[in-house]
Amino acid sequence: MPGENILVVEDEADIQELIAYNLRKEAYRVTAVGDGEQAVKAAEAVRPDLLVLDLMLPGLGGLEVCKRLKRNPDTEDIPIIMLTARSDEVDIVTGLELGADDYITKPFNLKVFLTRVKAVLRRSRRVPAAEDQALDYGNLQIHPGRHEVRVEGRPVPLTVTEFNILKFLARRPGWVFTRGQIVEAVRGEDYAVTDRAVDFQIVGLRKKLAAAADRIETVRGVGYRFRETA
Q: Specify whether 113 is located in the same domain as 142.
A: no
Q: What is the pLDDT of residues 92-111, one digit of tens each?
A: 888 888 888 888 988 899 99
Q: Specify whether 101 is located in the same domain as 31.
A: yes
Tell me whether residue 130 is exposed, middle or buried, using C-beta atoms within 10 angstroms of its C-beta: 0 to 12, 13 to 18, 19 or more: exposed
* Dihedral angle of Cα 164, 151, 122, 86, to the nearest 10 degrees: 70
Q: What is the pLDDT of residue 3?
A: 79
Residue at which a domain ends, from 83, 102, 125: 125
CATH number for 113: 3.40.50.2300
The H-assigned helical ranges of the chain are 13-25, 36-46, 62-71, 89-98, 110-125, 160-170, 179-187, 195-209
Q: How many domains does the chain have?
A: 2
Q: Specify whether 13 is located in the same domain as 90.
A: yes
Residue at which a domain ends, from 81, 103, 125: 125
Q: Specify whether 222 is located in the same domain as 153.
A: yes
Residue at which a domain ends, from 101, 125, 149: 125
Q: What is the pLDDT of residue 190?
A: 46
Q: Which residues of 213-222 are buried (b: 16+ CB within 10 A; e: fewer)?
A: bebbeeeeeb
Q: Specify whether 85 is located in the same domain as 12.
A: yes
Q: Specify whether 73 is located in the same domain as 100.
A: yes
- Reading the chain (230 residues) residue by residue, the pLDDT tens digits are 557 999 999 999 999 999 999 999 999 999 999 999 999 999 999 999 999 999 999 889 999 999 999 889 889 889 999 998 866 778 888 888 888 888 898 889 999 999 989 988 887 775 555 566 789 999 999 998 888 999 999 999 988 888 989 999 998 898 899 988 888 877 654 444 556 778 888 999 999 999 999 999 999 888 999 998 76
Distance CA 62, CA 66 (A): 6
Q: Specify whether 113 is located in the same domain as 156.
A: no
Tell me whether residue 123 is exposed, middle or buried, using C-beta atoms within 10 angstroms of its C-beta: 0 to 12, 13 to 18, 19 or more: middle
What does pLDDT average to over the chain?
87
CATH number for 171: 1.10.10.10
- 36-46 and 62-71 helices, crossing angle to 10°: 30
102 within 8 A of 176, measured Cβ to Cβ: yes
Residue 130 lies in a domain: no
Q: Specify whether 120 is located in the same domain as 152.
A: no
51 within 8 A of 10, measured Cβ to Cβ: no
> pTM, whole model, 2 decimals?
0.68
Residue 32 lies in a domain: yes
Domain range for 186: 135-226
Q: Specify whether 156 is located in the same domain as 94.
A: no
